[in-house]
Amino acid sequence: MQDLRSAQHLAARFGGASAGTAPATLGQRNVLAWIVRQHTERSDVLTRSVEIPAGVRLPGIVDAVRTLLVRHEGLRTTFTTDAAGEWIQRVHPDGELVIEVYPDESEIDPRWWGRPFDLSAEFGVRFAVITGAGRPVRLQFAISHVTGDFATREILAHQLEAMFADPQHHLPEARQPRDQAADETSPAGRRRAEAGLRAWDRAMRKAPQCMLSIAPATAGESGPRQAVLYSPAAALALDHVTARTGASRSTVVFAAYAMLLAHRTGHDSCAMIAVSGNRFRLGARDYVGTIAQDAFVRLDIAAALDGVIQDSRASLMSTYRFGQYDTARLYEVMGRMEYERGTRFHRDCVFTDISVHRRMPGAEPRTSTLAQMREAASRTRVTFITARDLPVLCELQVYELDEQVTLVLQADTGLLPSCEIEGFLRGIERLLMAAADRDVEAAELAAVSGIAAPVRGPGWHLIDSCWIRPDAVRRLLLDVPGVTDAVAYVRDGSVVAHLVCADPTTSLFDIHLSAVARLRGRYTAMAPHLYHLHAARPGHPDDPAAWRSLPVLASGTGRRADRPAGRPEEMPCR
């Protein structure tokens, strides 16, 4: 046996495997695009660990890694661009992957976990063995998000566990990224991607631009925090709710999250991203590659939870059908919608369910009484863990839904302080428990969940499904270069602005384009529907009537048909 004390590196060599080149898949292209755009946020590396059973030695680990490399083309792929700048995937028929060996996890270089992959020169996967008591005890691996998504991470972990338990285990056949690219570039695949873009456009034009358009928290916190709910009671409650409604466990949790989110933010609809695994098509279940993409869900909130559950089921099924598209094209769709509507798609609220990839098959159905469910609630725990660097304001991740419900909620404490993050998780549990034996009315949510609805004063207006504040619109306009003074107010359901520019010949088109380009992070502002340009401000600049009495240099919407392509923030504007 190899001496573990002296072992530093192992080599998993392979040869004679399938090879070739193909256009990058939609998933690969989308991830490559946002990796290029990233600066400080490095969420493109996914990590996992697998326990190594006693009796499995280093040669067996090398064999298992080699088997994965041969079976899955995506693990031995590098990327380049063609003459037109389009991404190309190149699958290698042979090569070598180094497996690092450490006597203790603390000796792993911290950069090992999150170090970005050089995808033009190295495969998007790395392995490390942790040893103890003279034997390997754990295998750590990291994959680039270009190589795989969360489902891929779990698939690889399960396949490694199966091979460690039985070296003769046969891995299932699955499609390869080159197969995926061929499907996506087929006429049917192109039609499917175009339908996805149309679905996004329809949903975004009616949805709130930001769910968390609420007053800032007063707790004095800032930055994201992440908490985990461990609830056996919620798992028992889901047995009852799914039996009554016929919906899946995941759909019920989604509906509870959506309903409470709308309640907490004072909306009568909910708009959020539900990450679609895109693994419901033939051959995609065991696909090792990045295929998950954002799906945009807009949901009118019904009068009671059961209705929200049924609407969620229909909405999710419809939305997931359109879960594959070209992100570059999507930005064009977003840009057109944002420019015309005067809003910004903030991607502030997200729902991600990875429980299906962690679920153990063959689980026996349970029967429990309501008394047992309530007793189980005494074992509920909420723990705060290290937050991740995510470009979202509120994200619920579902990790387990069987023996125990495990939910992870990350939120921006500037809007939802730590006590509300914990309270929201417990509110989901309380809502599910209350729904175990009856439908729960929307009017009961505060009492049932313990989550209060917002109190909005006269400075708030619901315009085009968005909660906005005219003073936030005024601050937006004052940030537009050249604007020296402005006032904004709501009239007949529209936002009207009066403003003065240093250059009185400034076009309303430039003003509007620049305003929309500055909406990022402004959750209670929108670009005006109507602009009035004046030569000077009135004697009482806080009085809209005084502005209306002034002579007008130019008046209009600021919109025109020949706008530049792309999102407004990326357009050439003042």
Write out the H or E segment, with its range, that includes residue 13.
strand 9-14
Q: Per-domain residue ranges for the chain?
A: 9-180, 186-449, 461-570
The C-alpha torsion from 145 through 146 and 150 to 156, rounded to 10°, is: -110
Pick the CATH number of 9-180 from 3.90.105.10, 3.40.190.10, 3.40.50.850, 3.30.559.10: 3.30.559.10
3-state helix, strand, coil in the chain (%, to 5): 35, 25, 40
pLDDT of 529 higher than 90: yes
- Give the pLDDT mean for 182-190: 95
Nearest to 272 by CA among 249, 295, 250: 295
CA distance 344 to 490: 19
Sort 387 into a burial class: Cβ within 10 Å, 0-12 / 13-18 / 19+. middle
Q: What is the pLDDT of residues 198-208, one digit of tens each?
A: 999 999 999 99
Strands 349-353 and 483-491: unpaired
Other Cβ atoms within 10 Å of 86 Cβ, number:
11
How sure is the predictor about 271, in pLDDT bands with cuts at 50, 70 and 90? very high
CA distance 570 to 553: 29
Nearest to 368 by CA among 399, 403, 398: 403
CA atoms lying within 13 Å on the CB side of residue 133: 6
Q: What is the structure's pLDDT at 390?
A: 81
| Residue 161 structure tokens | 């566990």
Q: Are 437 and 370 in contact (CB under 8 A)?
A: yes
Q: Are 534 and 550 in contact (CB under 8 A)?
A: yes
Other Cβ atoms within 10 Å of 41 Cβ, number:
12
- Give the pLDDT mean for 118-125: 94
In degrees and rounded to multiples of 5, residue 159 shows phi and psi of -70, -35
Per residue, the 3-state secondary structure of 130-188, as one string, reads EEECCEEEEEEEEEECCCCCHHHHHHHHHHHHHHHHCCCCCCCCCCCHHHHHHHHCCHH
- Secondary structure (3-state) at 470: helix
Strand order in the sheet with 87-91: 20-23, 87-91, 77-81
State the DSSP code for 437.
S
Strands 461-463 and 466-468: antiparallel
CATH class given for the domain over 186-449: alpha beta
State the DSSP code for 372.
H
Residue 49, beta-bridge partner list: 140
Query: Could you tell me how far CA 493 lies from the centroid of its own chain?
Result: 32
| Residue 186 structure tokens | 């087929």
Q: What is the structure's pLDDT at 36?
A: 73
Write out the H or E segment, with its range, that includes residue 25.
none
CA distance 126 to 120: 15
- Average of per-residue pLDDT values in the chain: 91
Amino acid at 12: A
CATH topology of domain 461-570: GMP Synthetase; Chain A, domain 3 (3.30.300)
Other Cβ atoms within 10 Å of 258 Cβ, number:
27
Q: What is the structure's pLDDT at 285?
A: 85
How sure is the predictor about 573, in pLDDT bands with cuts at 50, 70 and 90? very low
Q: What is the pLDDT of residues 366-418, one digit of tens each?
A: 778 889 999 999 999 999 999 987 889 999 999 999 999 999 999 999 999 99
Strands 20-23 and 87-91: antiparallel
pLDDT of 360 higher than 60: no
Distances (CA, A) of 387 to 34, 57, 113, 144, 407: 21, 36, 16, 20, 14
Asked if 9-180 and 461-570 have one fold, the answer is no
Provide the b/e sequence for 12-35 (b: ≥16 CB within 10 Å): bebeebeeeebbbbbbbbbbbeeb
The C-alpha torsion from 500 through 502 and 508 to 511, rounded to 10°, is: -100
Distances (CA, A) of 305 to 254, 256, 261, 263, 392: 11, 7, 13, 12, 26
- Give the pLDDT mean for 459-485: 97
Nearest to 342 by CA among 77, 156, 522, 573: 522
- Beta carbons within 8 Å of 524's beta carbon, 6+ residues apart: 210, 213, 467, 468, 469, 472
Q: What is the structure's pLDDT at 482?
A: 96
- Give the pLDDT mean for 433-440: 96
CA distance 32 to 20: 20
Q: What is the structure's pLDDT at 445?
A: 97
Q: What is the structure's pLDDT at 515?
A: 97
- Give the pLDDT mean for 306-335: 91
Q: What is the structure's pLDDT at 7?
A: 47
Q: What is the pLDDT of residues 464-473, one digit of tens each?
A: 999 999 999 9
CA distance 214 to 455: 9
Indicate the pTM of the whole model: 0.90
Longest dimension (CA), the chain: 91
Strand order in the sheet with 135-144: 9-14, 95-102, 125-132, 135-144, 45-51
- Secondary structure (3-state) at 539: coil
- Beta carbons within 8 Å of 292's beta carbon, 6+ residues apart: 27, 149, 150, 151, 275, 276, 277, 278, 323
How sure is the predictor about 17, in pLDDT bands with cuts at 50, 70 and 90? very high
Amino acid at 451: I
Q: What is the structure's pLDDT at 2?
A: 45
